[in-house]
Amino acid sequence: MSPYIIDRPDLQTIRQRFGYSFLTFVFWLIWFYLWIPLISLGGWLFGIDLFYDEMVVRDGLDALIELLGLYFLVIFLISATLGLWAMVNLWRFRGKNRRGPRPTVNEEQLAEDFNVTSQQVVAWRQCKRLVISHDAEGNIVSIDTPTSTDSS
């Protein structure tokens, strides 16, 4: 059972955590910024005075119409890029089925991975319910097999 960073975020460096959080924040800001013209249009259509001032008095509707062209261009470019990427992958992987079932894991491999005996694994597979306790590193500390008469 090897610890991967995706399974163990505590293994990430401060720089990695900060970088991920910062990029997430920046892209959320961009996402909200892209919705401002449509939110303004909706507010104007529903008669909210602040939006009326923005859309009518300051010619916001003209600015929105100008931006719509840019929005459609960006949407087209993103769609074309994704379509091109799909075509390249179709060309690269045509006739190659790389997807398949995961290899079957037997009791011995599972026992070795979790540092228990294969007899324990066989017995646990027969149980309807297991309560597994782990330590801070993710290793199994104890396994309880409560019976069906126990209250949950």
pLDDT tens string 120-142: 888 888 888 888 888 888 778 88
Q: Whole-structure pTM over 0.85, yes or no?
A: no
Q: How many CB atoms lie within 10 A of CB 12?
A: 14
Q: How many residues does the chain have?
A: 152
| Residue reference for tokens 């062209």 | 69
The DSSP call for residue 103 is P
Q: What is the mean pLDDT of residues 49-62?
A: 68
Q: Supply φ then ψ for residue 149, to 5 degrees.
A: -85, -15
Label residue 46 by pLDDT band (50, 70, 90). confident
Q: What is the pLDDT of residue 147?
A: 72
Determine the 3-state secondary structure of 62 from DSSP. helix
User: What is the Cα–Cα distance from 119 to 24, expressed in whole angstroms?
Assistant: 46
pLDDT tens string 63-103: 777 888 888 999 999 999 999 999 999 999 888 887 788 88
Q: What is the mean pLDDT of residues 48-74?
A: 75
Mean pLDDT of the chain: 81
* Torsion on CA atoms 18, 21, 27, 33, rounded to nearest 10: -100
Q: Are 140 and 115 in contact (CB under 8 A)?
A: yes
